[in-house]
Each structure stands twice: as C-alpha cells, then as structure tokens.
Amino acid sequence: MNIETKVKKTIKEYKLCNKKEKVLVALSGGKDSTVTAYLLKKFGYDIEGIHLDLKIGEYSKRCLKAVKKLCEDLDIKLHVYDIKDDMGSGICYLRSAIQLKQKGNLKNCAVCGVIKKWIFNRIARKLYAKKIATGHNLDDEAQTFLMNIFKASPKLSANIGPISRNIQNKKFIPRIKPLFYVLEDDIRDFSKKNKLPVVYEKCPCSLDSYRIQVREFLETLSGKDKQNIIKNFNNISKRIKKDSKIEYCEACQEPSRNRLCKKCELMRV
Ligand code: SF4
Ligand SMILES: [Zn+2]
C-alpha cells in the first residue's frame, strides 16, 4: 500500500478529521510534518500551519525558511510563534534553567515536548482549530511504545495511537497523527520524490541517549518487525487503563490531571 492510500485509510478508520473542521498542522520544517501538511492539503482538508520558532541558532532559521516555502508553495496560512517574544528566552535557555532546577534528570526532548504541547493547545484553541496534526510516524510510535515497556510504564502508552483518546475536555484540542502507520524511510523517500522543502538534519538538541539507543536498535529491525510492534500495541491498547479525571491548572487554566499542568510544574520557580 502506498503512503497516500495508507494515510487516507488511517484518517477514515480512526475518524481523525473531516473536511468541515479546521486542522492546525504543527510544522517543524522536518520531513514528517511537511509530508503530513502536503497530504492533508492534497486530500482537501481545511488546514493551517503553526511553526514554533524555538530559537535554536541557525538550525531554527533553516527550519523557518523551509516551512515558509512550503506554505507559500501550497497556499497554506502559516502562523509563526516566536518563543522568545512570548516566554522571554529561546528553548535552550528555558530548558537549561528547568534542568538545573530538576538536577538534570529530565531529557532535552522531554522538557521541550511538554512546552510545545502546551503552546500548541492554546494556539489551536485561539484559532478555533478542532484538531492538531503532528508528523509522528510508525518508527516514532514503536520507539515510544518500546521505551515505555523497558521503563515498565506501559500505562504511559495510553497517549500512543493515531488520535489522542485519553483526554476528554472542552479546552483540550485532540492531536492526530495521520502518518501513524507509515515507516520513516517511506516518508523520507516520498518527500524527496515530491521535492518538498525539508530540513533533513536532526535537531542539535535531541541528545536523549536512551532514546537514541532505542532508535538505533529499531534501525536494525525490518519494516515488518516495526509494524508488528505497533500491531502488538493495538492489541493491548484497549486494556491500558485510561485516567479520565481532567481538571484545570491553577496557574494557567489549561487542562491538567494535577493541580499544576506539566508545563507550569516545570517552570515553577
Ligand atoms: S528534537 Fe527534542 S529538543 Fe529538538 S525540537 Fe524536537 S523535542 Fe525539542
Ligand atoms: Zn499550567
């Protein structure tokens, strides 16, 4: 099955989005989110793009340039969020300050991921988007699933799946992953074949050695093996108990399972 058919099937089977609702695509400048936007636009969905300018030196400049080019080429309305304007510093400084406070236990991507999710949810709501689409692919999801097993925390895998299904709250904008069943290599080939403007280099801050180790292990597996990991996840996902209690963060009023949301917990002085 080619990428286009696979993505159409995933959207239909999991009811990811419909053509009457606005979908905000989180565009990083990398191949995955670029292909996500390209396909959703091609299939006729009402999409807009959001790019977070994280201020990671020249890398961020290249990403912004690629995203702008994509949106111009495909006629996609683009929103650019400048983290320095809004939060006072680039992600590297924010992250280091948090890690210092937490005595360095938190990985770069864990900190950055929490902040990005918080920003995306707020912006999507302001723009009246009904879904947030991200570029997560089958390799990413298999990696997360395996890491949760190795950490003996299978409950964390409740977040995995083509659509976020573990949070039901009117202020929470569901996140969708149209590339959930697509292998990373196929996405790379597709983006090159279609000459999409993509930054192929990895983010210089993705230094989580454990994640890299799991990724390297996954690279030794065949596509079929990786698909089987996800099949296994699908078999057990129905049995993962979901925590349904959602309230609001006392500090920012965003949906949260605890008194403070993860972002405010991290940024607390
Ligand atoms: S790779 Fe990690 S540090 Fe870099 S932008 Fe993504 S989440 Fe943030
Ligand atoms: Zn908060």
The whole-angstrom separation of Cα 54 and Cα 85 is 10
Pocket of ligand 1 (CB under 6 A): 54, 108-109, 112-113, 203, 205-206
CB atoms within 10 A of CB 37: 28
CB atoms within 10 A of CB 101: 13
Check: CATH 3.40.50.10490 for 3-267? no
SS3 16: coil
> pTM above the 0.85 mark?
yes
The kind and range of the H/E element at 122 are helix 108-126
> Ligand 1 test: best mutation among 58, 114, 206, 266, most atoms within 8 Å of CB?
206
| Residue 76 contacts residue 48 (beta carbons within 8 Å) | yes
Q: Domain residue spans in the chain?
A: 3-267
> Ligand 1 test: best mutation among 58, 63, 112, 134, most atoms within 8 Å of CB?
112
User: 171 CA to middle of ligand 2, Å?
Assistant: 13
pLDDT band at residue 103 using 50, 70 and 90 as cut-offs: low
Ligand closest in space to the Cα of 249:
2
pLDDT over threshold 90, residue 73: yes
pLDDT tens figures, 164-222: 876 778 899 999 999 999 999 999 999 999 999 999 998 888 877 778 888 889 889 99
Predicted pLDDT of residue 108: 82
pLDDT tens figures, 219-231: 899 999 999 988 8
| Residue of minimum CA distance from atom 1 in ligand 1 | 206
Q: What are phi and psi of 201, to 5 degrees?
A: -70, 155
| Residue 133 contacts residue 126 (beta carbons within 8 Å) | no
